[in-house]
Amino acid sequence: MSKTLKIFLVWLLLIGFTLPSAAYSTQFADSGETLRLHWAAKLIPIAFSTSLIKPNPYVKPDSDIQGAIERSLEAWEKAADIKFQVFWTDKQTVSPTGKSGDGVSLVTIAQTPENLLLFGADANTVSARTRIFFNRRGYITEADIVLNPYEQFSTDGSHGTFDFEATLTHEIGHLLGLDHSSVTGATMNEHQGKNGVYNLSAFSSRTLAEDDLAGIRALYGGNSDEENCCGTLAGKLLSSSGKAAKNYQVWAEEAESGRVAAGVLTNADGVYRVEGLRSGHYKIYAQDFGSETGRSFSVEELGEVNVVKGRTQTLSKKLKSATKDFDVRYIGFNAQVSELAVPVNGGKSYVIYVGGKNLDAGKVAIGFNSPYISVTPKSLTDHKYGADISVVSFEVNVAPETPLGEYSFFVRSAGEATEFAVGSLTVEKFVNSWNSHFLLPRD
Ligand SMILES: [Zn+2]
């Protein structure tokens, strides 16, 4: 049976200016990447434009905009040592580009010429943009957010709209100084789906991933009730030829649960630094982050570390750089594949898809490091999606007691070459009712 190619075009969220960024988590004020953008004060004033709540064509009527705003801000406040001071204003338009703005950090959806300028040619692909102003010392002085008034937003999961709360939560991350994350299921990942992708509501990004939490703790320190915050892991990776292993994804998984704790990318010198980790035991992995054409090398486990509050552990390695003959590019659900994580619930089973090159159900194994998630034996099935992509599906069983968060699965060939889809399954409280059967708790 042949299916038509259903690779979803995924709507990208992009920030309103470009800066070089080696780390997943932070934006830098300088090309040497020494000054990380962040607010100097722990109390951050933010003004919401009445354009968001006045009847308009861009927000579905009766949406709970005020509730969504409160929850978005609270998600970040709970994560780090920061508070927002909220104002409402009749102001509609963001500050134009320049050395400094008007000092008001505005969130708006008004269709004014200056607001529309932020989207340029990307008006049909970007859900929102954030424009940041900062001083020479790397302190953010203003951050303006425009929700794309060419799009439609909602808070009830309406098909074909962007979720207002998910979009705002991501943009507030930029406002605070975070850049995009390499972890697929993180709120700060650059891909955002509209409601309806995978035939699901796109609520995932409302909830911050462990990776997002680590990033914001790295910038502002943990919330005062966070006892185990924070430790740092740092190191340098070399390829087998001795050159700097640049653009490698280095990520930490909680050793016991297999949950993704944080992921970063190595810089041009092969150096990585994961801050904001809670004290605990982690397994550390590295794999080349690849390019448009995919990843070349097999994943490598760097080792296990005990991260201790207030300390920096180092873990450096010369990699074996073993090549592999397959590639994992897409994840999928309900016969659709995209670059978005699949949200699942504990206590249920789901059929997950993986798409890429040279994937063959008879030749690869798929599994999870987490003791909470298993792949049903012999459930791997090939699907024909066209000549340019090979797609395999498999059934996963998510134990009822699985901690909420992001989990990775691996694809391994007979030759032991392995690739991880980092944080591609996100265990959530939002209901994904497409389960294939219910599971009982383990005794
Ligand atoms: Zn973004």
Are 332 and 314 within one domain? no
Q: Clarify whether residues 263 and 361 are in a common domain.
A: no
17 vs 131 pLDDT, higher one: 131
Dist. CA 46–CA 344, nearest whole Å? 34
Same domain, 75 and 203: yes
- If asked whether residues 353 and 411 sit together in one domain, one would say yes
Distance 438 CA to ligand 1 centre (A): 36
Query: Would 61 be classed as within a structural domain?
Result: yes
Token pair recorded at residue 276: 């904001």
For residue 286, list its beta bridge partners: 250, 300
Examine the pLDDT at 225 and tell me if it is beyond 70: yes
pLDDT at position 18? 30
Give the angle subtended at the CA of 428 by the CAs of 301 and 181, to the nearest 5°: 50
Q: What is the pLDDT of residue 439?
A: 67
Q: Please, where are the H alpha helices in 103-221?
A: 113-117, 164-175, 210-220
5: in domain: no
DSSP letter at 104 equals -
Q: Are residues 82 and 102 in the same domain?
A: yes
pLDDT at 107 over 60: yes
Q: Which of 154, 180, 214 delimits the end of a domain?
A: 214
Q: How far is the CA of 241 from the centre of ligand 1 (A)?
A: 35
Distance 238 CA to ligand 1 centre (A): 30
Looking at the 3D structure of the chain, how many domains does it have?
A: 3
Is 437 part of a structural domain of the chain?
Answer: no
Residue 70 belongs to a domain: yes
Residue 432 inside a domain? The answer is no
Give the pLDDT score at 254. 98
CATH number at residue 272: 2.60.40.10
Spatial separation of the C-alpha atoms in residues 151 and 128, rounded to whole Å: 9
Q: Are 307 and 266 in contact (CB under 8 A)?
A: no
**Per-residue pLDDT reduced to its tens digit, 362-393:** 999 999 999 999 999 999 999 998 888 999 99
Q: What ranges make up the beta strands (E) of 135-228? A: 140-147, 153-154, 162-163, 191-192
CA of 112 to the centre of ligand 1 (A): 21
Is the pLDDT assigned to residue 227 strictly greater than 90? no
Structural domain includes residue 157? yes
Give the distance (Å) from ligand 1 centre to CA of residue 24. 11
Q: 24, 265 in Cβ contact below 8 A?
A: yes
**Ligand 1 centre from 246 Cα, in Å?**
22
Q: Rounded to an integer, what distance in angstroms lies between the CA atom of residue 42 and that of residue 38?
A: 10
Of 318, 336, 371, the domain-final residue: 318
Cα–ligand 1 centroid distance for 108 (angstroms): 16
Which amino acid is residue 380, in one-letter code? L
**Helix (H) or strand (E) segment spanning residue 177:** none
User: Distance, CA 244 to ligand 1 centroid (Å)?
Assistant: 28
Ligand 1 center to residue 315 CA distance, Å?
A: 30
Q: Do residues 200 and 139 both lie within one domain?
A: yes
Q: pLDDT > 70: what percent of the chain?
A: 91
Range of the domain at 242: 226-318
Out of 214, 237, 253, a domain closes at 214
Q: Please give the pLDDT value at position 438.
A: 67
| Token digits of residue 98 | 């320049």
Q: Return the closest-CA partner of residue 151 out of 140, 143, 163, 141.
A: 163
Distance 364 CA to ligand 1 centre (A): 34
Tell me the CATH number at 149: 3.40.390.10
Full-model pTM: 0.91
Task: Give the mean pLDDT of 278-293.
Answer: 90
pLDDT of residue 154: 97
**8 Å CB contact between 418 and 295:** no
Whether omega for the bond prior to residue 230 falls within 30 degrees of 0, making it cis, is: yes
Query: Sign of the CA dihedral 70, 88, 156, 350?
Result: negative
Q: Please state, for a pLDDT cut of 90, what percent of the chain lies above it.
A: 79
| 172 shares its domain with 311 | no
Task: Give me the residues near ligand 1 (ion), CB cutoff below 5 Å.
Answer: 13
Alpha carbon of 180 to ligand 1 centroid (Å): 6
Whether residue 271 sits in one domain with residue 129? no
| Same domain assignment for residues 42 and 182 | yes
* Span 137-141, average pLDDT: 93
User: 202 and 233, same structural domain?
Assistant: no
Residue 190 C-alpha to ligand 1 middle, in angstroms? 5
Mean pLDDT within 222-238: 91
Least confident of 210-214, 290-294, 311-315: 290-294
Distance (angstroms) between ligand 1 centre and the Cα of 13 equals 4
23-76 pLDDT per residue, tens: 234 677 777 666 889 999 999 999 999 999 999 999 999 999 999 999 999 999
- Kindly state whether residues 174 and 40 are assigned to the same domain: yes
Whole-number Å distance between alpha carbons of 170 and 186: 9
**Ligand 1 midpoint to CA 10 (Å):** 13
d(CA 370, CA 230) in angstroms, rounded, equals 23
442 in a domain, yes or no? no
The pLDDT value given to residue 13: 33
Tokens of residue 9, six digits: 């075009």
Distance from residue 392's CA to the centre of ligand 1 (Å): 30
Cα gap 427→343, rounded to integer Å: 6
| pLDDT tens digits, one per residue of 328-339 | 999 999 989 999
198 and 301 together in one domain: no
What pLDDT sits at residue 388? 87
Model confidence pLDDT, tens digit, residues 16-28 = 233 323 223 467 7
* 18 in a structural domain: yes
Distances (CA, A) of 99 to 117, 142, 169, 409, 435: 17, 11, 26, 45, 52
